[in-house]
Amino acid sequence: MDSRLQRAQALIEAGQRAEAIDLLGALLTEAPGQPVTVYRNILLQHYRLGRHADGADWADKGLLAYPGDLEILNLKGVMLRRAKRLEEALAVFIELAKRSPNNENILANLANVHNDMLNGAAAAKIFLQLTRRFPRNAEYVRLLGVALRHQDRGDQAITKFRQALAIDKANVDAWCDLAGCLSEQGKTAEALEAIDSGIAANPGNMKALEAKVKLLRQMHQLRVAETLLESLLPAHDGEAWVHHSLGSVISDYDRERGLVHLRRAVELAPKNSDYVFALAESLDRARGPKEARHLEEAYHLIRNSVTPDRMKSGELKVANEVYARLCAFDDVDSLGSFAEVGRRFVKGGKHTALLAQLARGADDADRLELLEQHRQWGAMAVAGARKAPIRRPKGPPASGKYRLGFMSSDLRRHPVAYFALPLFEHLDSERFEVFCYSFSEGASDEIQDFITSKVTAFRWAKDVSAREAAQLIADDGLDMLIELGGSTHMNKLSAMAYGAAPLQASWLGYPHSAGLETIDHLICDPFNAPPRPELLIETPLVMPRTWIALGRQIFREAMENKPDIPQDREGVLTFGTANNPYKYTRKALSTWGQVLMRVPDSRIMFVRPECASPIFRGNITRVLQAEGVTPDRIVFKAVRGGHMPYYNDIDISLDTFPLTGGTTTCEALWMGVPVVSLVGEAFFERLSYSILNNVDLGDLCADSLEGFIDIAAALAADPERRRALRPVIRQRMIEGPLGQTEAFARDFYNLIAKTVEAARVGKKTATA
């Protein structure tokens, strides 16, 4: 035997597998005609170290030397499966099954790949055959249950998991699968009982404990999960999953402590992409003086992790959001095309990621693709809800009043509440009983307290699942439920999939159709309603004048609005924006650059916390420089929260597109700053169009890029108009539809009453 083979074997026995791989690899490269056992050995060491992609490459080399070796081919399939290259793994095992149709291991591997690909029917066919041959093999029985679960045959799957456990109570995977399947059916108490039984049968088993934590997180019992993880921490401080789980659980209500544990998880397992992206996501959500530094840390973590083609849907979402906030357009493009990225989000159930997609669409094909992405997500959510339906209420109490619900976790100091406040300030208590549902993890504030004081009930449930939220709502016997947050953070859009009220609608928080067939309406106005009905999934409910009004507790006249234009004070005209950078596109920035080039000596100001990031500043500067704008004409103000006074230094606000401003457009106008906007056909492209028309500034809306540039340049060249507008725009807002909050509330409640009555008449007619 070659002495190098002896040394390699000694290294393996000493647990030094990486060194053995290097030695064997050098030997096979130098002298490829080694015995087949050498190739098999190097593959096994790659497998045991988790180097699956490299192992697949070595399998190809082994097959060149020994093309008929079934063991090498089988190991190749295993490596490809572990590397998530499922199509390739499937092809390998199909070939193997043809060569050796009765080989137990090959058949099991083939069926496992089918399960991985969610092809439950194909997997079940094989595992049924294997369980007949080996009826006491608990693992085959369990995997048959997994295949049945993939076919939505939950009751049969549960039976198989219980059969597997009757054979072998030490099969932790069977306990985990049983608990997961029960949870999917809404049997949360049984699910917890199952996983606790699994822990009792396997004391100290970390996989079972990890499954319980995962289950508690799915049930949104975060504080219970936190207590369990804290109890594990002293004895398991060196286990990455404990820190990862604890950091993920507490981040929403204790961000800094969460970051400590998420960083520790990455330190312990730096190549685990789940841990890397969980840290990156938490860094992206962190606020405070280190916000830009945290964002850049997230950026570098992602760039140094897996390539886009190997990102899971959740990882892709985090990457897209971090790159978008930093205007890293090339990085965003590297993730895939508009359709590819959106479909991957949908496949992974990541509705929250579709918000950033609104800003990325380029044409009508993208508008229609975006609708389809939302539809597909909605179909998945409704299908999931039907597996575990909620208990239906008997009907509204006989109070004679309409029972109206608002579901949002943003009924606090948040832009959603700023525009919803008029409905609570002028609540129509003679006709309506109003219920609010919030799932916010944060503390209450003065806005939430005010709303609570006005409504029939404010149900604040921190630790509930979407199904539990839907049941909570259904038990109030509403006539209509309106969700205000879409899928933004801490809202529970999927609760709408359960049909907790006979009528359901979306309003305010998400500027697009949510995608659920259980949502009947989207509330809009004559300006932002899409001109083509096919650009909405829901039936529009059209307010007579405006879909929003200004909550006077937030839009206060005490905010100093300097009456003169900044150009007169500074001697230079300043364009500006305070919009969120995820709305920026390369085309929008280029168009802004062309505006600046049409207005000599003008400058542009960005008022955002991201401005403290050198990456952000560099990306913005490069796009504007390509249009001829020199860096000295670009001003960055790193601000979070205290941005309103900066409008006193902006002459004209340039709107984002295709996703236009909403809150920021109102804020700019409130401070006397005119806004130039580009209008498209989709709802999300018409938000500013509605606002500007409701303050008699519709002429600042363009229907083409050329028109946008012309309008901005003409307004810049007309200081007299801007001097006249500056002191009066706020008053126009107060006196017009946006500021007439009592009239707005009356219009809103009238619209809801009319809609509910029409539905009641329709129901009577249908049952007559």
Structural domain count of the chain: 5
Once rounded to an integer, what is the mean pLDDT over residues 297-325?
95
pLDDT at 415: 84
Once rounded to an integer, what is the mean pLDDT over residues 517-538?
97
Instruction: Say how far apart CA 157 and CA 160 lie, in whole Å.
Output: 5
Q: Is residue 165 part of a domain?
A: no
Residue-wise pLDDT for 201-211, tens only, equals: 999 899 999 99
Sheet holding 457-460, edge to edge: 457-460, 432-438, 402-407, 480-483, 503-506, 521-524, 539-542
Q: Is residue 93 part of a domain?
A: yes
Q: Is residue 580 part of a domain?
A: yes
How distant, in Å, are the alpha carbons of 9, 255, 562, 616 from that of 762? 79, 49, 54, 54
13 lies in the same domain as 41: yes
Residue-wise pLDDT for 388-431, tens only, equals: 899 987 766 677 899 999 999 889 888 898 899 999 999 999 99
422: cis peptide before it, omega within 30°? no
> SS3 for 528?
coil
The pLDDT of residue 487 is above 70: no
DSSP H or E segment with residue 65: helix 52-65
Instruction: Say how far apart CA 199 and CA 170 lie, in whole Å.
Output: 10
- CATH of residue 722's domain is 3.40.50.2000
Q: Is residue 678 part of a domain?
A: yes
User: Of 478, 508, 542, which residue is a domain's last?
Assistant: 542
pLDDT at 733: 95
The pLDDT of residue 489 is above 80: no
Tell me the two tokens of residue 418: 């700023």
Instruction: Say how far apart CA 108 and CA 114 lie, in whole Å.
Output: 10
Residue-wise pLDDT for 328-347, tens only, equals: 999 999 999 999 999 999 99
Which residues contact residue 430 at a Cβ distance below 8 angstroms, ignoring those fewer than 6 apart?
Answer: none
- CATH of residue 238's domain is 1.25.40.10
What pLDDT band is residue 554 in, cutting at 50, 70 and 90? low
What pLDDT band is residue 768 in, cutting at 50, 70 and 90? low
User: What are the counts of helices (DSSP H) followed by strands (DSSP E) for the chain?
Assistant: 35, 13
Lowest mean pLDDT among 215-229, 521-535, 587-601: 215-229
Residue-wise pLDDT for 675-701, tens only, equals: 999 999 999 999 999 999 999 999 999
Residue-wise pLDDT for 595-621, tens only, equals: 999 999 999 999 999 999 999 999 999
Q: Is residue 447 part of a domain?
A: yes
User: Of 542, 576, 609, which residue is a domain's last?
Assistant: 542
321 lies in the same domain as 345: no
Residue-wise pLDDT for 745-755, tens only, equals: 999 999 999 99
Domain extent for 361:
337-384
DSSP string for 158-206: HHHHHHHHHH-TT-HHHHHHHHHHHHHTT-HHHHHHHHHHHHHHSTT-H
407 lies in the same domain as 500: yes
291 lies in the same domain as 346: no
What pLDDT band is residue 34 in, cutting at 50, 70 and 90? confident
Average pLDDT of the chain, as a whole number: 93
